[in-house]
């Protein structure tokens, strides 16, 4: 690699002045980006990977300060006055962000926003800028660019908004594009499209890309070189291939091993059916106004049949809006839905709240968001034992406490922490608390709604292991709802692929993963599973 | 949009009707009547007066009579200001209150928004502390303290401005009452603008604008302030209605012939029609300005659409 280095970072520190004193987010890192190459910065949340680039771009929060050096083609960026920095950012170095939904100004048309860097850097006239914007929108694959140029951000989907951001980033033919988790907030198939687009554009335009991500799958397929960051330091760096084949640092090894592994065996075909829903339908009416008349309906779940057997884990896979969470709630009778529902052979289709109450203990639900789903004003002990008070009111306080200790130990938490409040725990620990809250009731069926999605990969793996251990120990049946195919593959023995409220395909896990029959499933697999190169034509629909 | 406006205006009719009904019966529940004096009138005269004002009829009849007149735009005669109808009183008083309140509102908006934005842009500097400190002071000191102090100092002691009166609305007479009305509003609007601007400056789309090297006047003026104005606009609806319909305190202390005084005077004198008229005028202003705010919102924020 004889290409010249365009960005050289030396001994960069980033510090934040907080109420708890100085926080060192980045502790003296070195980093180089050469012309036209793709560099990935990998790390889990809090590793300092984003703050590194924020410091380079002069975008640190007002309580943040950068020290050290970051030179772009010989020009020192750290401490550069805003006016001079503005000659580089948006022109030579551009950036796209993790949050496509909020990174564009909701009050202005996208055409105007993409044109702004053209008008202020390239001094283009309004008319010329508009023509260039339409060209750019076409380049990033927005259909009908001449029309969409006048759309407002809220009229576009998340994927389209990210394309708009990319168009803005490309406007001035930059030397270097910093992409900060650009696909994390997007569905897998959209993710793949955006990544394919970036790879494609890089080939055409020859800019360098700095790719910040926590997703090693993306790194492997995308980057030439990798920097692995942890707690503000670069722990390992090297060519992607070498790093993946022979990681040296234990943390890198741990990250690489963090992809959930293992498979679950299918249950015998004569295992009794515990929870069953036939022809389930859930319809929402939309846009009902003050003066009546709903102007439409959304069939969130549109005629789906599911039968969950004892000891089985059914993975329900689909992208956002596919109706998978709604199906889970409808099966638990937590949401009104049409169809026939049975639990242990008993018809619960018309069971009201009161009739369901004795069954609730055996049908539990664990949510995605470990931050929002635990009451911040209750101690962990109270959170975990609350269900016992309802379902086993005869238990004495001492007995409840004993059960809490038992279940906390079982989910791998120190029971002496049960008098603390949820905010004192990490995301992974909170998810363990949420699981303990369900497990203390000794349920038979647990619906797990994206239980690992908000967690770092290494923590995800631990939660997956925990859920599998609990299943083995107690003979539980799971309905595992997720958009994350790697996790589903490790958890489920049967998979249902959903799209727009309907089943696209279902079958045993190996069949779905190894021989997907439907094009949509194939696209999902191609988008999510390691080792498949990006092909832009894969997923366009 | 036009359909939405018409629907909202149509929706205002039942609202006003309900307000009128509640106000009508509530004021009648208050003990005493418009013609009760310390020394009771001769019963015969009392009877005549009551007959003249229809007060001898059963309450429900009076209610329907009032509604009937209201439908024709007649708010009835004032009970305490003989020879004046309530409409006459408003015709002379309302323009005064609107001139006073409108001036105060415009000044409060311009000065408050400017100070608030300035404080946000200079967050945690002495400029910020000055604005926030002064604003807190402005909110805590009530108008019935500000008004006499201003009048005493600038009017009586220094003799620079008239200490009271209206003077046909000449500017010298406007300065002190407008200042009294505007000061607390400046304080509130400054605080609102400051908070909203700080939030907007931290938002992701402003970060995008900065990341793209746009000059700071574009980052702030185009991307941050427009977002920051939205909460101020929604505050302005009820505030405008309150300011334009007159302030009891300011009009009383400075002796200004607006309609703000009528509410209290009418209530104390059991001037039923005057109280009702004031209630109706204020209700209509509130409804109107909330509608204007909603329309402004749709103009400022493309995500808001009414259809």
Render pLDDT for A397-429 as a digit per residue (tens, 0 to 9).
Answer: 999 999 999 999 999 888 888 888 888 888 888
What is the ipTM for the molecules in this complex?
0.79
A102–B212 C-beta distance less than 8 A: no
Residue of A nearest to B302 (CA): A107
B216–A62 C-beta distance less than 8 A: no
Helix ranges, B122-203 (H):
126-140, 143-150, 171-202
pLDDT of residue A1: 47
Residue A539 is assigned to a structural domain of this protein: no
pLDDT of residue A373: 83
Residue B104 is assigned to a structural domain of this protein: yes
Q: Find, among A224, A203, A207, A226, the residue nearest to A215 by Cα.
A: A226
**CB-based contacts of B299: which residues, under 8 Å, 6+ apart?**
none
| Helical (H) or strand (E) element with A71 | strand A64-72
Residue B36 in this model has a pLDDT that exceeds 70: yes
Residue B108 has which token pair? 């409060």
Of A336-345, B32-41, B46-55, B232-241, least confident by mean pLDDT is B32-41
Q: Which residues of A touch B202 (CB under 8 A)?
A: 61
Same domain, A381 and A523: yes
Same domain, A246 and A279: no
Give me the half-sphere count of Cα atoms (radius 13 Å) on the Cβ side of residue A63: 12
Give dist(CA B153, CA A525) in Å, integer: 80
Say if CB B224 and CB B200 are below 8 A apart.
Answer: yes
Using CB atoms, which residue from B7, B204, B210 is nearest to A99?
A: B204
Same domain, A170 and A116: yes
B209–A106 C-beta distance less than 8 A: no
Residue A234 is assigned to a structural domain of this protein: yes
Same domain, A345 and A249: no
pLDDT average, residue stretch B138-163: 88
**CB-based contacts of A80: which residues, under 8 Å, 6+ apart?**
A58
Give dist(CA B100, CA A184) in Å, integer: 55
**CB-based contacts of B307: which residues, under 8 Å, 6+ apart?**
B1, B3, B4
Q: Which residues of B touch A295 (CB under 8 A)?
A: none
Report residue B22's pLDDT band, with 50, 70 and 90 as the boundaries.
very high
Query: What is the domain-level CATH number for residue B110?
Result: 1.10.3720.10
Q: Find, among A309, A453, A311, A291, the residue nearest to A369 by Cα.
A: A453
pLDDT average, residue stretch B145-154: 90
B207–A120 C-beta distance less than 8 A: no
Same domain, A333 and A213: no
Residue of B nearest to A168 (CA): B212
Q: Which residues of A touch B7 (CB under 8 A)?
A: 291
Residue A290 is assigned to a structural domain of this protein: no
Report residue B95's pLDDT band, with 50, 70 and 90 as the boundaries.
very high
Residue B54 is assigned to a structural domain of this protein: no
Report the gap between the CA of B58 and the closest CA in chain A (Å): 37
pLDDT of residue A287: 56
Place of tokens 């942890």: A230
Residue B103 is assigned to a structural domain of this protein: yes
pLDDT digits (tens, 9 = 90+) for A267-281: 888 889 999 999 999
C-alpha distances in Å from residue A286, one per residue of A153, A198, A283, A296, A297:
21, 36, 10, 5, 5
A365 Rama sector, left if φ>0, alpha if ψ -120 to 50, beta otherwise:
beta
Q: Which residues of B touch A154 (CB under 8 A)?
A: 302-303
Give dist(CA A208, CA B186) in Å, integer: 51
Same domain, A204 and A327: no
Q: Which residues of A touch B218 (CB under 8 A)?
A: 116, 120
Count structural domains, chain B: 1
pLDDT of residue A3: 74
Residue B16 is assigned to a structural domain of this protein: no
pLDDT average, residue stretch B27-31: 84
Give dist(CA A451, CA A367) in Å, integer: 6
Residue A269 is assigned to a structural domain of this protein: no
Residue A540 is assigned to a structural domain of this protein: no
Q: A72: domain range?
A: 5-257
Residue A266 is assigned to a structural domain of this protein: no
Residue B2 is assigned to a structural domain of this protein: no
Burial class, A127, CB count within 10 angstroms (exposed 0-12 / middle 13-18 / buried 19+): exposed
Same domain, A82 and A180: yes
Q: Which residue has the higher pLDDT, B18 or B83?
A: B18
Query: What is the domain-level CATH number for residue A499?
Result: 3.40.50.300
pLDDT digits (tens, 9 = 90+) for B171-190: 889 999 999 999 999 999 99
Same domain, A316 and A461: yes
Count structural domains, chain A: 2
Q: Helix or strand or coil: residue A280?
A: strand
Q: Find, among A125, A2, A7, the residue nearest to A55 by Cα.
A: A7
Residue A54 has which token pair? 């924020």
Same domain, A242 and A331: no
Q: Which residue has the higher pLDDT, A290 or B74?
A: B74
C-alpha distances in Å from residue A350, one per residue of A72, A80, A304, A340, A354:
68, 69, 18, 9, 11
Same domain, A44 and A118: yes
Same domain, A228 and A305: no
Same domain, A328 and A242: no
Q: B142: domain range?
A: 86-300
Residue B131 is assigned to a structural domain of this protein: yes
Q: Spell out, as residue ranges, where chain A has pLDDT lower than 50.
A: 1, 289-292, 531-541
């Amino acid at each position: 690699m004889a290409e010249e280095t365009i960005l050289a970072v030396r001994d960069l520190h980033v510090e934040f002045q907080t109420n708890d004193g100085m926080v060192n987010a980045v502790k003296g890192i070195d980093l180089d980006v050469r012309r036209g190459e793709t560099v990935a910065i990998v790390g889990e949340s809090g590793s300092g990977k984003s703050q590194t680039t924020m410091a380079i771009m002069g975008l640190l929060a007002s309580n943040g300060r950068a020290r050290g050096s970051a030179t772009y083609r010989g020009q020192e960026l750290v401490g550069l006055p805003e006016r001079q920095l503005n000659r580089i950012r948006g022109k030579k170095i551009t950036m796209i962000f993790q949050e496509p939904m909020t990174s564009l100004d909701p009050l202005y048309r996208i055409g105007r926003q993409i044109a702004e860097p053209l008008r202020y850097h390239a001094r283009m006239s309004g008319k010329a800028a508009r023509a260039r914007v339409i060209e750019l929108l076409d380049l990033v694959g927005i259909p009908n660019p001449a029309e969409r140029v006048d759309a407002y951000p809220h009229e576009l989907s998340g994927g389209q908004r990210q394309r708009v951001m990319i168009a803005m980033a490309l406007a001035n033919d930059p030397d270097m594009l910093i992409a900060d988790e650009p696909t994390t907030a997007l569905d897998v198939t959209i993710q793949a499209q955006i990544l394919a687009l970036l790879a494609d554009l890089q080939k055409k335009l020859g800019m360098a890309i700095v790719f910040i991500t926590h997703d090693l799958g993306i790194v492997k397929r995308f980057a030439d070189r990798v920097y692995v960051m942890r707690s503000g330091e670069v722990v390992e760096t090297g060519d992607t291939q070498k790093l993946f084949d022979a990681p040296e640092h234990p943390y890198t090894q741990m990250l690489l091993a963090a992809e959930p592994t293992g498979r679950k065996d299918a249950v015998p075909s004569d295992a009794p059916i515990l929870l069953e829903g036939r022809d389930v339908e859930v319809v929402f009416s939309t846009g009902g106004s003050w003066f009546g008349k709903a102007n439409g309906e959304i069939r969130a779940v549109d005629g789906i049949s599911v039968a969950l057997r004892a000891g089985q884990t059914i993975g329900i896979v689909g992208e956002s809006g596919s109706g998978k969470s709604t199906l889970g709630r409808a099966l638990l009778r937590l949401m009104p839905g049409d169809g026939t529902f049975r639990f242990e052979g008993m018809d619960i289709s018309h069971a009201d709240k009161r009739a369901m109450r004795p069954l609730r203990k055996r049908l539990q639900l664990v949510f995605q968001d470990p931050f929002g789903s635990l009451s911040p004003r209750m101690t962990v002990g109270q959170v975990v034992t609350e269900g016992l008070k309802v379902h086993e009111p005869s238990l004495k306080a001492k007995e409840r406490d004993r059960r809490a200790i038992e279940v906390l130990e079982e989910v791998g938490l120190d029971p002496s922490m049960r008098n603390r409040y949820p905010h004192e725990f990490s995301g992974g620990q909170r998810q363990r608390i949420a699981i303990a809250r369900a497990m203390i009731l000794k349920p038979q069926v647990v619906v797990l709604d994206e239980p690992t999605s908000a967690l770092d990969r290494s923590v995800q793996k631990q939660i997956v292991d925990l859920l599998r251990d609990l299943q083995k120990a107690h003979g539980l049946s799971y309905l595992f709802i997720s958009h994350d195919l790697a996790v589903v593959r490790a958890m489920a023995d049967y998979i249902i692929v959903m799209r727009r409220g309907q089943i696209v395909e279902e079958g045993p896990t190996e069949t779905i993963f190894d021989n997907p029959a439907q094009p949509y499933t194939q696209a999902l697999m191609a988008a999510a599973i390691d080792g498949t190169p990006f092909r832009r034509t894969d997923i366009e629909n | 949009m036009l359909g939405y406006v018409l629907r909202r205006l149509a929706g205002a009719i039942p609202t006003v009707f309900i307000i009128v009904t509640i106000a009508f019966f509530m004021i009648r529940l208050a003990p005493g009547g418009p013609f009760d004096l310390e020394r009771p009138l001769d019963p015969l005269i009392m009877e005549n007066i009551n007959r003249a004002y229809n007060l001898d009829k059963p309450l429900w009849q009076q209610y329907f009579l009032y509604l009937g007149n209201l439908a024709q735009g007649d708010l009835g005669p004032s009970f305490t200001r003989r020879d004046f109808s309530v409409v006459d009183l408003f015709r002379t008083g309302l323009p005064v209150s609107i001139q006073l309140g409108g001036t105060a509102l415009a000044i409060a908006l311009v000065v408050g928004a400017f100070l608030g934005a300035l404080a946000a842009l200079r967050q945690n500097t002495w400029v910020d502390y000055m604005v926030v400190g002064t604003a807190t002071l402005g909110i805590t000191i009530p108008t019935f303290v500000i008004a006499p102090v201003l009048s005493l100092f600038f009017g009586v002691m220094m003799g620079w401005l008239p200490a009271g009166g209206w003077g046909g609305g000449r500017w010298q007479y406007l300065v002190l009452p407008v200042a009294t009305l505007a000061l607390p509003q400046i304080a509130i609007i400054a605080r609102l603008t400051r908070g909203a601007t700080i939030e907007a400056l931290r938002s992701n789309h402003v970060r995008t604008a900065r990341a793209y090297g746009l000059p700071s006047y574009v980052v702030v003026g185009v991307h941050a302030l427009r977002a920051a104005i939205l909460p101020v606009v929604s505050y302005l609806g009820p505030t405008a209605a309150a300011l334009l319909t007159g302030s009891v305190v300011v009009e009383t202390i400075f002796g200004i012939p607006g309609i703000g005084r009528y509410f209290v005077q009418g209530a104390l004198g059991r001037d039923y029609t005057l109280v009702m008229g004031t209630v109706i005028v204020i209700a209509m202003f509130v409804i109107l300005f909330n509608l204007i705010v909603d329309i402004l919102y749709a103009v400022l924020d493309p995500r808001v659409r009414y259809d």
